[in-house]
Every structure is written in C-alpha cells, then in structure tokens.
C-alpha cells in the first residue's frame, strides 16, 4: 500500500502535475521509527528514551525507593504499580528489537534496579510467564446482578432521594442514617467503634434539631416583636369590605323628598 502510494506520487511528480515547491517530504512517524533498527534511528531513539527516563529518574532520586511515597501499610502507590507494568514489559520479554531494554540498562540503571526490586516484591522471585495469567487457581464469580426494572415508583423514589440529598437539613439526616446502617452491617468494626460512630450520628442529629428549633424560635420572636411595636398588623378582609360598602351606600343615597320638591317647582 505504501509502495503503491509512493509510485503514484513519483509518477505525478514526473509528469509535472505537482509543482516542485509544493512537494512535501513524508515525515517519519513513531511506527516507522519503532519498525527500524536502533542503528538507523539511533539519535532519535536516544532523545525519545531520554524524555521517558529523566522524569522517572528524578522521582526515584527524591524518594529513593519508589516513585511516590508508600502508604502507612508500606504498600506501593498506584503510580508505582502502573510504572512497574510498563517497565516490566520493556525489560523482561525477549523482543526482536530490544533497543528499549538496552537503553534502560545503559542510561537508567537506577530505573532498571527499581524495576527488578519491585518485580521481586510484587511477583516474587519465580519467573512470571504470560500463560500464568490464564490459569487462575481459585475461580470466583464477579459480583454482577440483573438490573432493576424501570417503573414510575422507582423513578419517583430516585427523584425524591435526590431532592432530599440536596436539601440541607434532610441531607444531614440521611447521611447520619446511612452511617448507622453501614456501621451495623459491617462486622469489621469492633463494639467500641460501633458505639462511637452511633453516638456521633445521634449527636449530629440532635445538634441539627437544636439548630432548627433555635432558628424557628428566633423567627417567631422577631415576628412577635414586629407585631407588638406596630410594624406588622393583621386584619380580616371581610370587615374592611363591609365597612367600605356601608360608606359607599351612605354617599350614594338620594333623598326622595328633595326630588318631589324639585319637580313641583315646574
């Protein structure tokens, strides 16, 4: 495919269809570089491996043993696990062009020693082969379950739960309830830990209820004070309408005697 494209390109150039100033030379891609021998692209591969090794070497120089500090149980970080996988693929398998393995051992001996040390720590001293990944000793079923059927009740429950989780006071109540349920369901907690967590959830609920009562009492006191000083007044609308109607009736009332006297004048 590539040879055919080159022949068509050469034929087009020879026939003068493409001007010489518009002819672009094909650029080398990563696939082409990896497909050639190390001697052909020695300088470019050296720059590529240097960009890969230098950051890892700098991280190892800071922490001495791992790329990132281990946790309290001396377990390696997730970055160390990912780096161990890729570096093991570069160092262990026998490849047709082992230029990456040679570059690691020659330019980054600290990184190569780190890989060997982590391989011995995580996988042991026994050789690890690809066939070991397809021979699990203890088969186990994945925790899969059939999805629940969608119904109006399920959708309504989900919406109400989402609304409650976004409401300030209800959110705290639901969180404390979930905490108590998780503590009661988990058998890894000791009796003292369960008692402490349950007491914390109960005290949190009491504090929240006390805050609500304080806010309600303060609001009621403020409204009562405003009513007492006259800033707020409450009156029924029926009495006002009745009084207004009586006033309007008194204004529009006509004296019949005055009308007869007016007509008798004619």
Task: Round to whole Å and give the CA distance between 121 and 115.
Answer: 10
Q: Which pLDDT tens digit goes with each residue over 224-242?
A: 888 888 777 766 555 555 5
Counting residues of the chain whose pLDDT is more than 70, the rounded percentage is 63
Start-to-end CA distance of the chain, whole Å, equals 124
Q: Which residues of 154-175 are buried (b: 16+ CB within 10 A; e: fewer)?
A: eeeeeeeeeeeeeeeeeebbee
Q: At what angle do helices 109-123 and 42-63 cross, to 10 degrees?
A: 60
φ/ψ bin of 182: left (φ > 0), alpha (ψ from -120 to 50), beta (otherwise) = alpha
Spatial contact of 76 and 118, defined as CB atoms under 8 Å apart: yes
The answer to whether the predicted template modeling score (pTM) of the entire model surpasses 0.75 is no
Q: Which pLDDT tens digit goes with each residue over 181-206?
A: 777 776 667 777 778 778 888 888 88
Spatial contact of 115 and 128, defined as CB atoms under 8 Å apart: no
Closest C-alpha among 100, 63, 101, 93 to residue 79: 63
Q: What is the pLDDT of residue 157?
A: 86
Task: Round to whole Å and give the CA distance between 200 and 207.
Answer: 10
């Amino acid at each position: 495919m590539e040879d055919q494209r080159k022949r068509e390109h050469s034929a087009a150039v020879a026939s003068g269809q493409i001007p010489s100033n518009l002819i672009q030379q094909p650029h080398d891609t990563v696939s082409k570089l990896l497909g050639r021998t190390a001697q052909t692209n020695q300088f470019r591969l050296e720059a590529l491996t240097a960009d890969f090794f230098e950051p890892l070497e700098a991280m190892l120089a800071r922490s001495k043993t791992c790329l990132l500090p281990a946790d309290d149980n001396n377990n390696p970080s997730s970055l160390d696990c990912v780096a161990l996988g890729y570096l093991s693929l570069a160092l262990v398998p026998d490849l047709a062009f082992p230029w990456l393995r040679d570059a690691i051992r020659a330019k980054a001996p600290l990184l190569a020693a780190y890989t060997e040390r982590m391989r011995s720590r995580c996988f042991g001293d026994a050789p690890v082969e690809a066939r070991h990944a397809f021979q699990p000793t203890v088969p186990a079923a994945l925790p899969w379950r059939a999805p629940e059927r969608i119904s109006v009740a399920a959708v309504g429950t989900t919406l109400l739960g989402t609304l409650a989780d976004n409401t300030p006071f209800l959110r705290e109540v639901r969180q404390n309830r979930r905490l108590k349920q998780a503590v009661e369901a988990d058998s890894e907690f000791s009796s003292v830990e369960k008692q402490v967590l349950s007491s914390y959830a109960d005290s949190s609920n009491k504090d929240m209820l006390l805050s609500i009562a304080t806010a309600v009492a303060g609001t009621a006191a403020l409204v009562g004070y405003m009513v007492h000083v006259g800033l707020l007044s409450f009156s029924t609308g029926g009495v006002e309408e009745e009084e207004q109607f009586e006033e309007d009736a008194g204004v529009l009332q006509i004296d019949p005697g005055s009308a007869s006297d007016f007509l008798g004048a004619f």
